[in-house]
Structure formats: structure tokens, C-alpha cells
């Protein structure tokens, strides 16, 4: 009971036993300790709101370092908000956006780009979640007809929902095709750091350098407490961003705490260190699963995608998945029956992976 007579809630259990590591999503991981420190260091005195603070001023310079001198950064609260804001700011209300059918903006955002953004999403069938110039050309329907939403943008996920990555050449080919067709290019970069780490390149090498116009930059999946950003690379499409961010409920009054997180992640090498760690654990998981399947003769256990980020997709018999879920959480992949998704996070360890593999193999 508290001093004023109220009954206090029990303190949350903080032991690892109460909060085991899991493979359900990289969103399940906590915040990186350096990010928590950055928030605490920003929590001093008073500072101007809505972005007129030193942390946000520094963030603009950090993002220019990654994406070039014309880049403009707009911190926001979450990835769906970033995607809706980015697309809405760049396009008129009659626009259509061509993307992979599996893309987050098409499959996982409850129709927000259409219902909130007022845009038509065209989901194209793809192999391994990746658009190609040929796919884009084939998805253009009704160009010039008043009866059709007009295809004015292409959106690619980097990395994709299937964990695959676009190489710089692949992204450049898509951007060249889109611009040839008078379309803009948006990148849903919720795991942009994982893609760049896998490819061994910088963030600008797979965005600015290849002709991308606007980016939804992720952070939460790579160790932030809850902060993303829209990065405008094409200055011709930034005019309405300041107003739309407020209208779309994405303008933070105490923006210094979002900017401080983004600075902690992107102001140095933390983004690459964290992304590399989760990517490496996914590769290790795939190797261990392949070994277990061979040594145990586990019929039906099969890795179905190349590991190019921090996720492993596995065809897994139902009884094996049920057994493993006695110890670990992971997701059934809704886009294909019998496949599970195993996500690694920045804090996933080899011991976590070994324990999961043991549970799958029945050795625990």
C-alpha cells in the first residue's frame, strides 16, 4: 500500500526467466542500452517543442551525412505512419502505388495508405518479394484514363517481407524504370539497416545513389524505443510534409526524445553493429537448422529463402512447430501455409539460437 492509502501494483518481473528471448519479431526486443542512455541524456531541463531543439538540429546533419546534402529528415512515431506520410506527401489523391503483393503497405497496414492516405495500392505478384522493372511495367493499368487511379509511384521494401534484399543495381534499375514512366520511388526502409549491412554498403548507396525519391527510415526494429523518420531525398516533393505530418498525427511535441534515439542509432555505427548482429544470428540459425535437419533426418524441415537479413523462413511440420512453441514464440507465415518465420533481433545470442534449434529438434 502506498503512503496515501492506495494499493500499489506489483513491480514488473525483470528476470530473463520471466522475459525469455523469442523469435516472434525483432519488434519484441527491448531498446538498446545506448538508446536508453540517449533518452535519459535528452531529459534535461526545458527545450523547444516540435523539433526546434538541438537534438533535432543535429539529426538533420546526421541524415545529410548518410543520404546527401539535400536530404530532409522528419521524425515520426511509427513505420505505418512514416509510410502513409511519405506516400501522401509525394503524390496527389488520384495516385496509385505499385508494390509487391507481400509488401507491408499492401498486406500489413490495415489499408492505412488507402484509408488514411487516400491512395490506391496495387499489389503485384513477385518472386521472393522483389519487384522488377518488368513487374512494374506489367502492373501499369489505366494510364491516362479518368476511370483508373493513376500509377505514379513505386514502393519497394528494403529488406522485403520475405527477408530478401535489393542490390544497388536492382534498385537503380527499378528507379530508372519508374522515372522513365514519370513515377516516383519510395523505399519502405523499416529494415534498411539490415539490408545495408548484408550488402556491405552505406544507407545512401541503396537510396540516394540509386535514384530513390523518399524513404521511410526504420529504427524500432533495430533497437529504438519507438522512433522512425521520413527522409525526403527529392526536394521537389517536400513542400507539404510539415503540414501533413501534423495532420496525420505524427508530429511529436517533445521531438527531442525521438531525435535523440535516431541520433544514437544513426549518429555513429550502432545501426550497422546492431543490424549485423541480428543478420549474423539469422545466418547462424539457418546453418544450425540445416545441420539438425540432416543429422536428425527431419523430413519436411526446409529453409525456403536465402538468408539476406535477420529472418529465416522455414517449412516446418505442424507437430515440430507445436513442440518448439512449448519453449519459444514465432509466427506462422500467413502468405504460405506450412511456413514459419523466425526473426532475430539485435540482442539475439548464439545461446538463444542453440536453444531454439534444440527445441525444434527435440533435444531440449
The answer to whether position 10 is within a domain reads no
**Statement to judge: residues 258 and 186 lie in one domain:** yes
In a domain? residue 7:
no
Say if residue 52 is in the same domain as residue 66.
yes
Domain boundary among 269, 297, 319: 269
**Sign of the C-alpha dihedral, residues 285, 290, 295, 296?**
positive
* One domain, residues 42 and 137: yes
Per the domain annotation, does 2 fall within a domain?
no
Q: Is residue 352 part of a domain?
A: yes
If asked whether residues 59 and 128 sit together in one domain, one would say yes
The pLDDT value recorded for residue 17 is 59
Same domain, yes or no: 98 and 188: yes
pLDDT score, position 19: 58
| CA–CA separation, 279 and 348 (whole Å) | 10
Q: Across the beta sheet with 302-303, what order do the strands follow? A: 302-303, 311-315, 339-343, 331-332
Whether residue 17 lies inside any domain: the answer is no
Alpha-carbon dihedral sign for residues 138, 140, 144, 148: positive
Taking the C-alpha atoms of residue 161 and residue 105, their distance in angstroms, rounded to an integer, is: 11
Distance CA 323, CA 224 (A): 32
Query: At which of 232, 248, 269 does a domain end?
Result: 269
Q: Mean pLDDT of all residues in the chain?
A: 93
Q: Is residue 18 part of a domain?
A: no
Q: Do both 261 and 285 map to the same domain?
A: no
In CATH, what number is assigned to the domain containing residue 293? 3.90.1150.10
**Same domain, residue pair 75 and 59:** yes
Residue 81 within a domain: yes
Shared-domain flag, residues 94 and 78? yes
Burial class of residue 262, CB neighbours in 10 A (0-12, 13-18, 19+): buried
Residue 349 has pLDDT above 60, yes or no: yes
CATH number of the domain to which 192 belongs? 3.40.640.10
pLDDT for 5 beyond 50: no
210 and 292 in a common domain: no
Same domain, 303 and 335: yes
Q: With a cut of 50, say whether residue 44 has pLDDT above it.
A: yes
Same domain, 277 and 193: no
Domain range for 45 is 33-269
Structurally, the chain folds into a number of domains equal to 2
Residue 16 has pLDDT above 60, yes or no: no
- The model carries a pTM of 0.93
Q: Rounded to 5 degrees, what angle do the CA atoms 92, 210, 164 make?
A: 90
Q: Which of 4-13, 267-276, 293-302, 321-330 has the lowest mean pLDDT?
A: 4-13
Instruction: Look at residue 300 in the predicted model and tell me its pLDDT.
Output: 85
How confident is the model over 125-149, as pLDDT tens digits?
999 999 999 999 999 999 999 999 9
Looking at the chain, the whole-number percentage of residues with pLDDT higher than 90 is 88
Amino acid at each position: 500500500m502506498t503512503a496515501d492509502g492506495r494499493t500499489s501494483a506489483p513491480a514488473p518481473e525483470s528476470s530473463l526467466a520471466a522475459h525469455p528471448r523469442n523469435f516472434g519479431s525483432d519488434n519484441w526486443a527491448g531498446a538498446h542500452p545506448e538508446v536508453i542512455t540517449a533518452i535519459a541524456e535528452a531529459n534535461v531541463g526545458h527545450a523547444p517543442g516540435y523539433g526546434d531543439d538541438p537534438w533535432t538540429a543535429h539529426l538533420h546533419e546526421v541524415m545529410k551525412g548518410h543520404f546527401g546534402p539535400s536530404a530532409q529528415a522528419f521524425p515520426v512515431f511509427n513505420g505505418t505512419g512514416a509510410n502513409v506520410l511519405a506516400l501522401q506527401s509525394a503524390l496527389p489523391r488520384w495516385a496509385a502505388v505499385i508494390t509487391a503483393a507481400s509488401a507491408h503497405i499492401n498486406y500489413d497496414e490495415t489499408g492505412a495508405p488507402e484509408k488514411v492516405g487516400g491512395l490506391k495500392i496495387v499489389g503485384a505478384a513477385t518472386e521472393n518479394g522483389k519487384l522488377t522493372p518488368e513487374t512494374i511495367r506489367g502492373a501499369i493499368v489505366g494510364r491516362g484514363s479518368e476511370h483508373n487511379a493513376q500509377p505514379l509511384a513505386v514502393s519497394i521494401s528494403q529488406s522485403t517481407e520475405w527477408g530478401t534484399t535489393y542490390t544497388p543495381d536492382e534498385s537503380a534499375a527499378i528507379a530508372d524504370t519508374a522515372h522513365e514512366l514519370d513515377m516516383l520511388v519510395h523505399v519502405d526502409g523499416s529494415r534498411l539497416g539490415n539490408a545495408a549491412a548484408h550488402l556491405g554498403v552505406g544507407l545512401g548507396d541503396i537510396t540516394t545513389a540509386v535514384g530513390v525519391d523518399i524513404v521511410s527510415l526504420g529504427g524500432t526494429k533495430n533497437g529504438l524505443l519507438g522512433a522512425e523518420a521520413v527522409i525526403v531525398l527529392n526536394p521537389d516533393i517536400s513542400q507539404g510534409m510539415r503540414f501533413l505530418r501534423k495532420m496525420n498525427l505524427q508530429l511529436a511535441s517533445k521531438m527531442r526524445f525521438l531525435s535523440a534515439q535516431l541520433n544514437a542509432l544513426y549518429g555513429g555505427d550502432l545501426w550497422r553493429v546492431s543490424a549485423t548482429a541480428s543478420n549474423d544470428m539469422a545466418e547462424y540459425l539457418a546453418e544450425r537448422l540445416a545441420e539438425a535437419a540432416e543429422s536428425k533426418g527431419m523430413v519436411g524441415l526446409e529453409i525456403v529463402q536465402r538468408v539476406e537479413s535477420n529472418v529465416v523462413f522455414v517449412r516446418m511440420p505442424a507437430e515440430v512447430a507445436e513442440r518448439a512453441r512449448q519453449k519459444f514464440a514465432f509466427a506462422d507465415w500467413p502468405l504460405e501455409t506450412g511456413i514459419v518465420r523466425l526473426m532475430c533481433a539485435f540482442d539475439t545470442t548464439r545461446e538463444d539460437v542453440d536453444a531454439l534449434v534444440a527445441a525444434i529438434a527435440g533435444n531440449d
